[in-house]
Amino acid sequence: MALLDSAIWSEKIFLNGWRAGSAEPTDILEPATGNVLERAGLASADDIHEAAQKAAEAQKAWAATKPAERAAVMRRAGQIFEDHAAELTDWIQRETGAIPAKAGLEITVAANECYDASALPHHSMGDVLTSDEDHWSFARRLPVGVVGVISPFNFPLILSIRSVVPALALGNAVVLKPDPRTPVSGGVMIARALEEAGLPEGVFQMVPGGAEAGAALTEAPEIEVVSFTGSTAAGRKVGEAAGRNLKRVHLELGGNNATVVLPGADVAKAASAGAFGSFLHQGQVCMTTGRHLVHESIAEEYVAALQQKAEQLPLGDPTEENIAIGPVIDEGQRDNIDRIVQQSKDGGAKVVAGGSYDKLFYSPTVITDLTDESPAWSQEIFGPVAPVRTFSTIEEAAEIINASEYGLSVGLLGNVGEAMKLADMVRSGKVHINEQTVSDESNAPFGGFGNSGNGSRIGGYTTNIEAFTEVQWLTMRPEIAPYPF
């Protein structure tokens, strides 16, 4: 049977099993064609609160489950993603506008996240502490209880599952609210995989919804930790609400990431890396290369090579063969991209490639002659746009990079020694030497500085244990201690 048989989940949420949500169901639209793929159930604020309550009830028994049993569920879920890869890849393509390579990457990473999570239950969960008292002293890690996850539309499967399965593996229950534009890739796939893998009922709840549902998730008293991935503006609201309710919050937000092309770099290879960094998944990636900083000695050659890449990349329905650029997610996203490009052009910038669209297909765009104030340079575009400026020294490059309010990812292309010097000068959560800015692995810590996040990280054993457990100090004596009272 197909994992995503619509008879199971159509017009339903996953709240102690599949059932209708209290909010009006929504059409799932295919960005490339505008066709309705299916109908998705949506959750109301009341559904979110019920999901949190049910999750809290189920969590205690799940936390008491033997580590080997929790690990086995995670392994089975990973295998399910691999076994149903073709079916799931097709859905990701149609629902998100992804080309096959991007869709396949999501499935591969999802499986790896499950396999990595399967190791967590047997990981060390504390420390033996030295003490000047006559007792044993320990710091042990315990599940936080219920974790709330809010995920976006762009890489919906990866950006949901990277928080969901580590939290579950560590003995927590999870309430997931995926973006209502991508409820299948961001939620239904995970619910079905965990359901088939044997996760007990109630431990995982999947409740797609809009802003009202997201607000309820930050307010539900049963939810102790909120893991949010999305825009900086939305992240501020989530952070404020979580802080007001004394919840720990992990915010992975936007970026305006720079790829630096150092003097003497191989221009052809650098332009290939730069094009990938800016145009992968239509630039709808928080790690997208939003700024190309090119040394003045090779800038003209680099722009010409990047322009050629932009003009030759095939644009169209990603389910067709040999397509490199698909549609953006919706009209609102497209119009914001075009606003940034046109305002920059009106301010004196030069569009050397692209700068136009047909329906939701925005052509790969290269733009030069920018200033600090140009919207295409100062704002996160979240579209297939490659803004290019020059620099003369690595000190100047570092100053330009650090002037951004964001600090998520930096790519440094060229001489390794110069790149190492520059890496020590920049404030960024990730630095990639001789790679562009878009990179993610299931065992690597992910997060940024400044307006790219609040200093938290997701990914890797120690990082995930820190994110989804609490520390308890435990002491023990052979008999009751003597006291002076």
pLDDT at position 442: 86
Kindly state the average pLDDT of the residues 42-55.
98
Cβ contact 199:55 at 8 Å: no
Query: What confidence tier does 360 reach under pLDDT thresholds 50, 70, 90?
Result: very high
Q: Which two tokens stand for residue 117?
A: 């999570």
CA–CA dist 83, 207 (Å, integer): 25
Cβ contact 444:466 at 8 Å: no
Angle at CA of residue 231, ends 225 and 232, nearest 5°: 80
Cβ contact 443:459 at 8 Å: yes
Residue 407: its H or E element:
strand 406-407
CA–CA dist 207, 17 (Å, integer): 11
Q: Catalogue all structural domains in the chain, each as residue range(s) with its CATH number.
A: 6-253+453-473 (3.40.605.10), 257-433 (3.40.309.10)
Q: Which two tokens stand for residue 421?
A: 């010097």
Sort 65 into a burial class: Cβ within 10 Å, 0-12 / 13-18 / 19+.
Answer: middle
Query: What confidence tier does 460 reach under pLDDT thresholds 50, 70, 90?
Result: confident
Give the active site residues.
252, 286
Compute the mean pLDDT over every residue in the chain, rounded to the nearest whole number.
97
Cβ contact 452:429 at 8 Å: yes
Strand partners, 40: 26
Cβ contact 209:42 at 8 Å: yes
pTM of the model: 0.96
Alpha helices in 352-460 (DSSP H): 375-378, 394-402, 416-423
The per-residue pLDDT for range 160-186, each reduced to its tens digit, is: 999 999 999 999 999 999 999 999 999
The per-residue pLDDT for range 234-246, each reduced to its tens digit, is: 999 999 999 999 9
Cβ contact 143:195 at 8 Å: no
pLDDT at position 168: 98
